[in-house]
Amino acid sequence: MEPFPHHYTVIAKGTTTNSHVNVSSAGLSDIKTDVPVEFGGPGDQWSPESLLMAAVADCFVLTFRAIAQASKLQWDQVRCEATGTLDRIDRKPQFTAVQLHIALDATGDTNEERVQRILDKAEEGCLITNSLGAPVSMTTDIKFN
């Protein structure tokens, strides 16, 4: 791992001829975004709101994977559903809550308490949710195979 601080640069470009915005970053595939349906958009592209929730879910899974590996937890699959609540506070739109629902298929010789501790550590260690002002809550569904 490189020493902190890390820097991440993304460029967003829009034109007057269409509503799409092109988002790019060096070495990555470009993506198109647009306004979500809730704000009158077409709803057929990723939006900043959906990208933020994607970042939350993705960060949780990657953080869980690292902690599970360090903890030698055996598992088959993890699924993180992230739902953000957007509301107006003092006339400014902002995310006021983030709800994570985690479904995990655990294997091997372990118990639910240990698995829950590892999931809690992943939620606490996620740098994206740690960077948000909205409170984060988590529910879990742990299955043993």
The alpha helices in 17-107, defined as continuous H runs, are 48-70
Q: Note whether 16 and 79 are same-domain residues.
A: no
Q: How is residue 49 annotated by DSSP?
A: H
> Mean pLDDT by 10-residue block, N- to C-terminus, for the chain (145 residues)?
96 96 98 96 96 98 98 98 98 98 95 97 98 98 95
Contact 105, 143 (CB under 8 A): yes
Q: Note whether 69 and 81 are same-domain residues.
A: yes
Contact 67, 25 (CB under 8 A): no
Look at residue 21 in the predicted model and tell me its pLDDT. 98
Q: Which helix (H) or strand (E) segment is 116 a member of?
A: helix 112-125
3-state secondary structure of 16: coil
Look at residue 99 in the predicted model and tell me its pLDDT. 98
Q: Note whether 24 and 72 are same-domain residues.
A: no
Q: Note whether 59 and 126 are same-domain residues.
A: yes
Contact 98, 134 (CB under 8 A): yes
Q: Note whether 53 and 37 are same-domain residues.
A: no
Q: Note whether 71 and 4 are same-domain residues.
A: no
Interatomic CA distance for residues 32 and 44, integer angstroms: 10
Q: Based on the structure, what is the number of domains in the chain?
A: 2
Q: Domain residues for 88?
A: 48-144
Q: Note whether 89 and 125 are same-domain residues.
A: yes
Q: Note whether 62 and 95 are same-domain residues.
A: yes
Residue 61 has phi, psi (to 5 degrees) of -60, -45
For the whole model, what pTM was predicted?
Answer: 0.95
Q: Note whether 107 and 58 are same-domain residues.
A: yes
Look at residue 50 in the predicted model and tell me its pLDDT. 98
Look at residue 117 in the predicted model and tell me its pLDDT. 98
**CATH number reported for the structural domain that contains residue 112 in this entry:** 3.30.300.20
Q: Note whether 17 and 83 are same-domain residues.
A: no
Look at residue 120 in the predicted model and tell me its pLDDT. 98
Q: Note whether 125 and 88 are same-domain residues.
A: yes
